[in-house]
């Protein structure tokens, strides 16, 4: 499978999992995702996490 | 009180009304308030840009701590009116009626942040909400 497509799918699934059934921020899970992103890649992890949280807010509101 | 001052105060208060705080640790959004603010923002000219900035600042504030406010970076002069307008409309509850408890919360925060100016600001918001509510046939 194409890596970019794989990434896109994973990103969409990640957003769905972080929002949860309530349709709100699952705060602890988002914090964990941010930590994991930063652990995974020190340079780009923070930027990824910022984009992710912003996209989450866009999805929710 | 000029519109820039009112707009900046409104934005600062909006952020506090949209995010739960214990004054040291930001916890999470006040979900219903954010939903109302998002819906109302979209009805203004320049509202989408404003909403983008607002949501960006909310998430930054909750998860990272704001370094540079996206609202401050907005160049559209209309942002002051949008911020104030959204705050005024946030004072309406789901039925379009004046939400006393939300207004009292806003007034309390305004007073603690800006003292007499905050009380004057709250009076403006109260008057403008009534004006908005009745001119829209609510």
Q: What is the pLDDT along chain A (61 residues), one digit of tens a residue?
A: 899 999 999 999 999 999 877 788 888 889 999 999 999 998 899 999 999 999 999 999 9
ipTM of predicted assembly, 2 dp: 0.84
The answer to whether residues A59 and A19 touch, using CB atoms and an 8 Å cutoff, is yes
CA nearest neighbour of B85 among B115, B116, B114, B42: B42
Interface test with A, best of B25, B59, B60, B62 (most A CBs within 10 A): B59
pLDDT single digits (tens) B56-97: 999 998 888 877 899 999 999 999 999 999 999 998 765 667
A56 touching B (Cβ < 8 Å)? yes
Chain B environment of A57 (Cβ under 8 Å): 55-56, 58-59
Supply the pLDDT for residue B93. Answer: 64
Split into its structural domains, chain A has a count of: 1
Task: State the pTM of this model.
Answer: 0.87
Supply the pLDDT for residue B137. Answer: 55
The reply to whether residue A53 touches residue B34, judged by beta carbons under 8 angstroms, is no
Domain that holds residue A54: 3-60
Pairs of residues, one from chain A and one from chain B, whose beta carbons lie less than 8 Å apart: 40
Chain B environment of A30 (Cβ under 8 Å): 63
Q: What's the mean pLDDT when you consider all of chain B?
A: 87
Spatial distance between the Cα atoms of A7 and B16, rounded to a whole number of angstroms: 35
């Amino acid at each position: 499978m194409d890596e970019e497509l794989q990434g896109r799918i994973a990103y969409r699934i990640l957003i769905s999992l972080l929002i949860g059934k309530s349709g709100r921020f699952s705060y602890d899970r988002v914090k964990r995702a941010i930590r994991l992103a930063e652990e995974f890649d020190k340079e780009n992890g923070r930027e990824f996490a910022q984009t992710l949280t912003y996209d989450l807010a866009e999805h929710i509101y | 009180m000029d519109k820039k001052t009112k707009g900046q105060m409104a934005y600062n208060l909006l952020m506090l009304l949209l995010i739960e705080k214990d004054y040291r640790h930001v916890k999470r959004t006040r979900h219903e308030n954010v939903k109302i603010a998002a819906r109302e923002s979209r009805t203004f000219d320049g509202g989408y840009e404003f909403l983008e900035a607002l949501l960006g600042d909310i998430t930054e504030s909750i998860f990272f701590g704001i370094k540079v406010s996206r609202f401050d970076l907005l160049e559209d002069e209309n942002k002051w009116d949008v911020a104030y307008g959204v705050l005024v409309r946030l004072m309406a509850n789901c039925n379009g009626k004046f939400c006393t408890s939300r207004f009292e919360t806003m007034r309390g925060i305004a007073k603690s942040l800006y003292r007499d100016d905050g009380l004057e600001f709250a009076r403006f918001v109260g008057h403008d909400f009534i004006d908005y509510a009745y001119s829209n046939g609510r």
